[in-house]
Amino acid sequence: MKPPFQIMGTDHVRFIVGNAKQAAHYYQTLYGFQAEAYRGLETGDREKAAYVVKQNKIRFVFTSPYKPNSAMN
């Protein structure tokens, strides 16, 4: 049976974590990832914080919801 679609590539991998800032810092410090983007209260998002780190073609997005009853949890 043929798959319904073919995966052409991956843009990023998203991780839902308890502390996005700490997770991003960990990957920057231990594995040499570079900070690429941030989204959170300062940018007008009242639902979640997200940090994007990048190394060559690898891009991780660490996201933390602000509210414990968020749909992300």
Q: Looking at residue 67, what DSSP letter applies?
A: S
Nearest to 46 by CA among 27, 67, 61: 67
The pLDDT value recorded for residue 17 is 98
What is the predicted pLDDT for the residue at 47?
A: 96
> What is the reported pLDDT for 5?
84
Per-residue DSSP letter, 28: H
Q: Which residues of the chain have pLDDT under 70?
A: none
Please give the domain boundaries of the chain with CATH numbers for all domains.
13-65 (3.10.180.10)
* Model pLDDT, residue 20: 98
